[in-house]
Amino acid sequence: MEENIIEIENLHFAYAKKHEHKDAMVLQNISFSAKAGERIGLIGANGVGKSTLLKIFVGLLEAEDIGKVRLCGLDLNKKNLRELRRRIGYVFQDSDSQLFMADIYSDVAFAARNCGYSEQEVQKRVTQALAQVHLENLAKRQIYRLSGGQKKLAAIAGILTLTPQLVLMDEPSAALDPKNRRHLINILRSLPCAQLIASHDLDFIYAACDRVILLHDGQIAADGTVKDVLRNQELLEACNLELPLMFQKAD
Amino acid sequence: MHMADALLSSAVAGGMYACSLVAAGYALRKVQQERNDKILPVMGVMGAFVFAVQMLNFTIPGTGSSGHLCGGMLLAAVVGPYAAFLTMIGVLLIQCLLFADGGLLALGANIWNMAFYGCFVGGGVIWALAMRSGMTRTKIIIASVLGSVLSLQLGAFSVSVETLLSGITQLPFAAFLPFMQPIHLAIGLVEGAITAAVLVFLFAARPSLLWCAEESESASSVSLKNVLTIMGAAAVVLAGGLSLLASELPDGLEWSLERMTGSTELESADSSVYALSEAVQSVTALLPDYNFAGSESAAGTSFAGVVGAVIVMLLILAGGKVLKSFRGNHEQA
Amino acid sequence: MNRLERAISAIHVLDELAGRNTLVNKLHPLAKLGAVLCFILTVLSFDKYALSGVVAMGIYPVFLYQLADLSLCEGIKRFRTVAFLLIGLGLANVYFDTAVLLNIGGIAVSGGWVSLFVLLLKGLWSFLAVYFLIATTGMEQICYALQLLHLPKVMSVVLLLTYRYLILLLQEGSRMSAAYALRAPYSKGIAFNAWGTLVGQLLLRSIDRAQTVYESMALRGFDGTFYLQRAADGKGALAFVLPSLGFCLVFRLLPVFAILGSLL
């Protein structure tokens, strides 16, 4: 049987507080697994630990002894970090911080060049990645001239060059207009890799994902198909969320 | 305070490049010693920050006029003098390329005048010394004002010296200096006040951001001795470069050099070229009536030369226009 | 338009120019950098009275602008601010240096005026040359050329990041000062009591952004080097550099037009 892309047992995490009063536990008892190619929405109210979880996965938050975390066939530890980051793509909420090169091409090529691919191979991968997000005509465009939607797509292209097995996204639909949102959903649906999308935009999650994990108070409050979880008004409201707009009854 | 290319002779420009390179090499070694990848994006983003802040207008209380910030000292108080100096080099280079503030050749001088003093003297010495035994609001204010005033005074002084050594202006040193220093005292006070205001804000909002030498004693503390050594070395480099290229210096300096060395053998290869072309010209002058009277250097003597050059430029311009319209038609067809 | 917005639009224009596809744009950046530096050095090395020599040097930038299809007027317009500074210093010469140097049809011209004019021209030519460089090359390619000249990695990373975040922070600064101006309509600039908070906030945000930039770089395998796209090739570089050097050498050493005139 093929190994799961995500395999987490009993993950717990607390920020180390500099001014020691009490360790605030952000995440506890998190256990779930995901198969290759699965599209999972990670939902929850603001400050519930969605981004924290994503950052732990790629080692942006240093965490020792946090439970068993196995991603893309590797245990999460310092030794594996470089290889893990190759296999996992991470899309930041703020595209402007993620895209730090001057134009799209050099930014998308950044990871591939750092991995030591030949310039020919880099070019092939960049072209392919740009085609996947439909930006092939803008390769030479300066980043600051892009719209918010284009920046998001460029940021996604930047991680696709390494053909990741798992893509983590932090609030990808923030600050997108409806048309760009729709466009992004279609593109995400067309990507073959597994995706874990943190968002509180439930309509977006409903359209882009098949499965939902609902976080509340640092724990998993629900884990199921989008239909089961996102139509459950009681559950959502208990977790400080509201029904997706499309299910709310017009008054 | 940006110096333009035209204000510097090649010799002084080169000398200042050498000085700034020495300081940059030193700063680079220090930054690399820390082996901290995290500092790179901070330097880059802060460079852009300095850039943006330089363009803000600050109203000066009681005067109705507005002042600006240069930012060297402010930067040094946040990222430390070495990283700040390298960042400022980046800022000045981009400024000279994109906005034509200062020129490509004057860059060495501008780095020295505007970045070195602010970062090393203001940040590396004054700030570091003041914060040695802990930070307080008062100390931050005093250090900011003192550091800014001092670095701008030194900067203004360097500008005067460089201009005069370049022989661009006949303004006597004794007249130039009393003009430059008081103006830059005012500018320095404004710079100091803004720097102090920002640093006091940071001290209240996120004190951990402020740089102090103690934390990383081994790698990044600057001693007064080090700064003086760099400045001394720079002076030697500059003096050496100048004397090598003495033939380009204005007559006065050359004359005094002659007096000092007791010889008149300060000629360079150039003078023989001058002599040759002068000879060619005296024979061939087209419009003798319009010649420059009493000019020593042959390169600047022919009125015909000026006319001829202007004609050629106009021809090139016209040629370009014709070619362009031809190309335009071609594309339309 | 305030300074921030002017700066933003200036960068826009330069990016557009650098992104064109002219013959000169395609030249190797190192060739252009070298030629321009050599040209400026030559211009600056002229004596302060060397009017005809300095005027003749102008042929080079004028020619380059035609070659690159750049607007000379635009370049001269941008020269304005520098010109004021130069005139200011040059006028001192007019005052101090009154010895008659030149006689044009009975009108005596003092050395001061000649040197003022030479100073202005030197400024203009070197300015035009730098503008030519950036407008046909672009920041990233210049950085690449500097890397070839062994610019330390640290510096090229800092340069590129500064350039990248320049517009973003200029826009942020512009928004902040606009928001400030809306609430303080009678103030010409930022009043004293807001200096610390306004700039301080911008600084905090910049530092936070740098943190995210670092994370993004680390996640994509940053190892201290920015690998830049290589310049097209060295083709044509020599064909550009050699005539440039030749021009500088000939026009620096010989009064070309005087000689030409004598041949006629």
Distance to chain B for C177, nearest Cα, Å: 8
The CATH code of domain A6-242 reads 3.40.50.300
Query: First CA to last CA across chain A, in angstroms?
Result: 50
pLDDT, tens digit (0-9, with 9 covering 90-100), for A230-250: 999 999 999 988 888 888 876
The pLDDT of C155-159, averaged and rounded, is 90
Going by C-alpha positions, the residue among C187, C135, C170, C166 that lies closest to residue C2 is C170
Q: Examine the domain organization and report whether C94 and C108 are in the same domain.
A: yes
pLDDT, tens digit (0-9, with 9 covering 90-100), for B88-107: 999 999 988 888 788 888 99
Q: Do residues A14 and A25 lie in contact, with contact meaning Cβ atoms separated by under 8 Å?
A: yes
Q: What is the mean pLDDT of chain C?
A: 85
Closest-CA residue of chain A to C220: A111
Say which of B87, B105, B290 has its CB closest to residue C44: B105
pLDDT, tens digit (0-9, with 9 covering 90-100), for C10-67: 888 888 888 888 888 888 999 999 999 999 989 988 888 888 888 989 999 999 999 8
Is residue C11 in a domain?
no
Q: Examine the domain organization and report whether C59 and C146 are in the same domain.
A: no
Burial (Cβ within 10 Å: 0-12, 13-18, ≥19) of residue B61: exposed
Confidence of residue B287 (pLDDT cuts 50, 70, 90): very low
Higher pLDDT, B31 or C108: B31
Contact flag B90-C162 (C-beta cutoff 8 Å): yes
Say if A142 is an interface residue toward chain C (CB within 8 Å): yes
SS3 B264: coil
Virtual torsion, Cα C31, C34, C35, C38, nearest 10 deg: -170
Confidence of residue B257 (pLDDT cuts 50, 70, 90): very low
Q: Examine the domain organization and report whether C221 and C253 are in the same domain.
A: no
> What is the rounded CA–CA span in Å between residue B124 and residue B38?
21
Q: Is the pLDDT of residue B292 over 70?
A: no
Say which of B53, B78, B103 has its CB closest to residue C127: B103
Q: Which of residues 18-77 of B touch C (CB under 8 A)?
A: 28, 31-32, 37-38, 40-49, 51-53, 55-61, 64, 66, 69
Residue spans per domain, chain A? 6-242
Percent of chain B at pLDDT exceeding 70: 72
pLDDT, tens digit (0-9, with 9 covering 90-100), for B114-139: 999 999 999 888 998 888 888 889 99
Q: Is the pLDDT of residue C139 over 50?
A: yes
Contact flag C203-B78 (C-beta cutoff 8 Å): yes
The pLDDT of B139-163, averaged and rounded, is 91
Q: Examine the domain organization and report whether C96 and C67 are in the same domain.
A: yes
Cβ-based neighbour number of residue C160 at 10 Å: 23
Which residues have C-beta within 8 Å of that of residue B24, sequence separation ≥ 6?
Answer: B85, B86, B89, B111
Q: Examine the domain organization and report whether C121 and C207 are in the same domain.
A: no
Number of domains in chain C: 2
- In the CATH hierarchy, which fold is given to the domain comprising B5-332? Arp2/3 complex 21 kDa subunit ARPC3 (1.10.1760)
Say which of B48, B61, B198 has its CB closest to residue C165: B48
Concatenating the DSSP letter of every residue in C136-156 gives HH-HHHHHHHHHHTT--HHHH
Going by C-alpha positions, the residue among B299, B234, B248 that lies closest to residue B11 is B248
Say if A106 is an interface residue toward chain C (CB within 8 Å): yes
Q: Examine the domain organization and report whether C90 and C205 are in the same domain.
A: no
pLDDT, tens digit (0-9, with 9 covering 90-100), for C219-239: 988 887 788 777 666 778 888
Q: Examine the domain organization and report whether C49 and C159 are in the same domain.
A: no
Q: Choose the mutation target among A144, A146, A159 for the interface with C, i.e. most C CBs under 10 Å.
A: A144
Per-residue confidence (pLDDT) for residue B85, from 0 to 100: 95
User: How many CB pairs lie under 8 A apart between chains B and C?
Assistant: 384
Say if A96 is an interface residue toward chain C (CB within 8 Å): yes
Q: Examine the domain organization and report whether C238 and C163 are in the same domain.
A: no
Buried b (16+ CB within 10 A) or exposed e, C219-236: bbbbeeebbbbebeeeee
Q: Which residues of C touch A98 (CB under 8 A)?
A: 212-213, 216
pTM of the model: 0.83
Predicted complex ipTM = 0.89
Is residue C6 in a domain?
no
Q: Which residues of C touch A111 (CB under 8 A)?
A: 220-221
Is residue C87 in a domain?
yes
Range of the domain at C215: 139-228
Is residue C178 in a domain?
yes
Is residue C119 in a domain?
yes
Per-residue confidence (pLDDT) for residue A23, from 0 to 100: 54
Confidence of residue B313 (pLDDT cuts 50, 70, 90): confident
Task: Identify the chains in contact with C, defined as 3+ C-beta pairs within 8 A.
Answer: A, B
Question: Scanning the structure block, which residue is given the tokens 């202005």?
Answer: C120
